[in-house]
Structure 1
């Protein structure tokens, strides 16, 4: 099971990297690219899977950390969906906020 967990962790990090990279490449001409949403969906789904796998293994989980990370992830996904559906609202600051929240989520995972 540790191999599966490791693979899901790698996919989770790749999802965040795809989303962050796609956001940073579209900063000059602000828009939410499809790759951003694909990366966000991957990161959200694998994050939920990681929690399920860890819970099934009866590991001692920090539910406060998981909850905060889930809220941040849902906010970023919501911003991505709104930005994709309403491109006239997307500015450099909008993309910067999304990128900042992604960095906050990764920092919470690593530093907490």
Structure 2
């Protein structure tokens, strides 16, 4: 089970890295590329699977932390889908919001103990 958790964690982190990297590189001119949506969906699904595997094992899961991370991940995913489908509506604020929420999600994962 620990191998599966490790693989899912790597996939989860790669998804967030794609989101953060693609948004930071596309701040000027502001746009959301399709890779941001794919990275957000990958991180979201991998995160849900990580929680499922942790619940099946003998580890305790902080449900409040998971709920906060899920809400932030859903917001990032929704903004990424909106920005990718309506490229003319992508502003620097939208791209910055996606990048900022991604950093918030990573900070919650690392700093919340």
With the length of structure 2 as denominator, give the TM-score of the two structures: 0.96
Residue 58 of structure 1: how far off its partner (Å): 3.5
Distance 1:82 1:6 in 2: 31
Distance 2:2 2:60 in 1: 15
SS at structure 2 position matched to 1:18? helix
- Is 1:72–2:55 an aligned residue pair? no
Tell me what 2:10 maps to.
10
- Structure 2 stretches of 5 or more lacking a match? none
Q: What pairs up with 1:28-107 in 2 under 5 angstroms?
A: 28-107=28-107
Residue 46 of structure 1: how far off its partner (Å): 0.2
Moved segments of 4+, more than 2 Å: none
What is the root-mean-square deviation of aligned Cα atoms in Å?
Answer: 0.8
Distance 2:84 2:17 in 1: 19
Residue 25 of structure 1: how far off its partner (Å): 1.0
- Structure 1 stretches of 5 or more lacking a match? none
SS at structure 1 position matched to 2:20? helix
Distance 2:8 2:61 in 1: 17
Number of residue-to-residue matches in the alignment: 112
Distance 2:45 2:78 in 1: 14
Deviations for 1:49-108, whole angstroms, at most 9, x for unmatched residues? 000000011321100000010000000000011111212221111101110000000000
